[in-house]
Structure 1
Amino acid sequence: MKRRTAGPRPGRLLMFLPALLLVGCGISPTGPTTAGAPASGALQPGTRTHDARLLFVGPTGLRYAARTSTSPVGPQEAIDLLLKGPSQAERKRGLTTLVPAMSGRVTAEAGRNHVVDLRLPTTVEHLDHAAVSQLVCTAAKALDRDQTKVLVRVRESQLDGTWDVRCDSVGNAYPAAAKHR
């Protein structure tokens, strides 16, 4: 005769499984409770929205902020939004702009083959590098979500020629002729 040793028996454990399942997770049933006012500010169902990605300067460097619009946002519309500056909510997040007020209009026109023509009423030398990045990369991001694919031709007021500029993946503008990671 073989003697059994003390210890758990699989049959006994299976016997208690239904009881454990009936106990549940300890949450007792309750009726409905109030949770506050319903959500507000939401768009009507079926309303199509579009995002503009605007490049601002934050405490840790350049940062994109998304703005929702009910119509498509091209390079010109994105530049116009950027020039208005950060919203109150964006300012609370520490975002600001280094693009100065300029006498004259900044224009951005989408061209073919991932090209944007950006016309400035001033010269680039009068702008901080972060301000140039804000303008160039906001226009590029409006043309393609992957701003690295876009060539921005910057035209300065009263000067012939253009500056061909690209954006890296985080929003820094650099000369298109330069090799960049």
Structure 2
Amino acid sequence: MKRRTSGPRPGRLLMFLPALLPALLLAGCGISPTAPTTAGAPASGALQPGTRTHDARLLFVGPTGLRYAARTFTSPIGPQEAIDLLLKGPSQAEHKRGLTTLVPAMKGRVIAEAGQKGVVDLRLPTTVERLDHAAVSQLVCTAAKALDQDQTKVLVRVHESQLDGTWGVRCDSVGNAYPAAAKHR
């Protein structure tokens, strides 16, 4: 077998590779030099680092049943603010996810007041019998969730328009309202 003595040797090319590699990469990247350009207005809607946030959980109706939607705020949201947000209906993004509300427009204001620890008084301008069960769940469980992230611990006392007395309601873990006197799993 005869040994080659002329021509390029692979070892010599590898020796120059570290010096040639950056030049080869830059030559073929397709990026041409440009001056800085404006990119538009600064980002908006983002919170400053370290800002404490609070989620409001609003109960809407989705394609597969009752679903909570979270909205983020920089201060805590109480039962009244949560009910007011619920009554405005789902946001565009929530609507695109298939969420809607069965709470009808009512003459008069729905009032939700945090009472003693673990209790919300919910005053309706109508009677419950005029509302769909899902609408009652939306109202009761949204108010309860605003008082305590574990809505199952909250008693909601419902006051109906033109009726004396109240009745207690609780929410299960997925947002279904049921009479507080009833045993529920």
Q: Quick one: distance in 2 between partners of 1:117 and 1:158? A: 16
Q: State the Cα distance separating 1:28 from its structure 2 match.
A: 22
SS in structure 1 at match of 2:22: helix
> Could you tell which deviates more after superposition, 4-13 or 117-126?
4-13
1:75-117: CA deviations, max 9, x gaps? 0010000000000000000000000000000000001130000
> Could you tell which deviates more after superposition, 168-177 or 106-115?
106-115
> Could you tell which deviates more after superposition, 20-29 or 34-43?
20-29
Mapping of residues 66-81 of structure 1, within 5 Å: 66-81=70-85
Q: State the Cα distance separating 1:6 from its structure 2 match.
A: 40
1:149-172: CA deviations, max 9, x gaps? 000000001110111000000000
Q: State the Cα distance separating 1:44 from its structure 2 match.
A: 1.6
Q: Quick one: distance in 2 between partners of 1:5 and 1:159? A: 109
In the superposition, relative to structure 1, how do residues 168 and 11 fare at CA in structure 2: closer, same or farther (>3 Å)?
farther
Q: Quick one: distance in 2 between partners of 1:35 and 1:154? A: 53
In the superposition, relative to structure 1, how do residues 4 and 35 fare at CA in structure 2: closer, same or farther (>3 Å)?
same
In the superposition, relative to structure 1, how do residues 120 and 27 fare at CA in structure 2: closer, same or farther (>3 Å)?
same
Q: State the Cα distance separating 1:42 from its structure 2 match.
A: 1.0
In the superposition, relative to structure 1, how do residues 46 and 22 fare at CA in structure 2: closer, same or farther (>3 Å)?
closer
Which structure 1 residue ranges, 4+ long, deviate > 6 Å from structure 2? 1-39
Provide the aligned length of Structure 1 versus Structure 2: 181
The yes-or-no answer on 1:158 pairing with 2:159 is no
Larger radius of gyration: 2
Percent of aligned pairs with the same residue?
92
* Structure 1 unaligned blocks of 5 or more: none
Q: Quick one: distance in 2 between partners of 1:170 and 1:157? A: 27
Q: Quick one: distance in 2 between partners of 1:180 and 1:2? A: 93
SS in structure 1 at match of 2:123: strand
SS in structure 2 at match of 1:42: coil
> Could you tell which deviates more after superposition, 6-15 or 76-85?
6-15
Q: Quick one: distance in 2 between partners of 1:179 and 1:25? A: 69
Q: State the Cα distance separating 1:5 from its structure 2 match.
A: 41
> Could you tell which deviates more after superposition, 34-43 or 129-138?
34-43
In the superposition, relative to structure 1, how do residues 116 and 2 fare at CA in structure 2: closer, same or farther (>3 Å)?
farther
In the superposition, relative to structure 1, how do residues 33 and 113 fare at CA in structure 2: closer, same or farther (>3 Å)?
same
Q: Quick one: distance in 2 between partners of 1:159 and 1:108? A: 17
2:51 to 47, 53, 56: 47
Give the alignment's TM-score, normalised by structure 1: 0.78
1:131-166: CA deviations, max 9, x gaps? 000000000000000000000000001110111000
> Could you tell which deviates more after superposition, 6-15 or 121-130?
6-15
SS in structure 2 at match of 1:29: coil
1:3-48: CA deviations, max 9, x gaps? 9999999999999999999999999999999999996531122322
* Structure 2 unaligned blocks of 5 or more: none
Q: Quick one: distance in 1 between partners of 2:123 and 2:8? A: 81
